Amino acid sequence: MKKIIAEFFRRGLVACGLGPLVLAALYLVLQQLGQVQTLTVNEVCIGIVSLSLLAFIAGGMNVIYQTKRLPLMAAVLIHGSVLYICYLATYLVNDWLRQGTGPILIFSLIFIIGYLAIWVVIYSITLRNTKKLNKMLSETRQDP
């Protein structure tokens, strides 16, 4: 368990450095769209801290797939749930998402579709690569 926690922190700290860069890109996009003209010091500080924390958690959460005791579907559900809560909290804290049932439902739908789409792509690529490796192994075993 100590190994998993240490790996969580290592991965989280690596990803954490990207948070401010993502925030800067997001603010530039919002400025180009005319949604943000100026930011207060408070908005910038909350943005930096919240995105750094989000990146830390998102980067560290990938360690859950190394836990051998968890079935894959349980790991996916835990990973997705934690990311959903963290993204939703980050959007709400930064006022990037209006509070209310409608906006949260739309956000939730987009998150779920995006999360599932990413998993379908990852699963397909992994399945294809596994088949290739198995084919190569069977060909190697057949050759004397």
Supply the mean pLDDT for the chain.
88
From 81, 97, 113, give the residue that closes a domain: 97
Based on the domain organization, do 39 and 67 belong to the same domain? yes
**Same structural domain, 112 and 139:** yes
> Alpha-carbon distance 110 to 137, whole Å?
40
Handedness of CA 129, 110, 58, 39 (dihedral sign): positive
What residues contact 97, with CB distance under 8 A and at least 6 apart?
A: 88, 91, 103, 104, 107
Claim to verify: residue 28 and residue 52 sit in the same structural domain: yes
The answer to whether residue 144 scores a pLDDT higher than 70 is no
Say whether both 89 and 108 belong to one domain: no
Domain with 3, as residue range(s), is: 1-97
Query: Are residues 20 and 42 both part of a single domain?
Result: yes
Structural tokens at position 59: 């980067």
pLDDT tens, position by position, 68-86: 788 988 999 999 999 999 9
105/107 Cα distance (integer angstroms) = 5
Instruction: Read off the pLDDT band of 88 (50, 70, 90).
Output: very high
Q: Identify which of 89, 124, 123, 125 has the alpha carbon closest to the alpha carbon of residue 107.
A: 89
Burial of 16 (0-12, 13-18, 19+ CB in 10 A): buried
* 55 and 70 assigned to the same domain: yes
Same domain for 117 and 93? Answer: no
Domain count for the chain, please give it.
2
| pLDDT (tens digit per residue) in 101-136 | 999 999 999 999 999 999 899 989 999 999 999 988
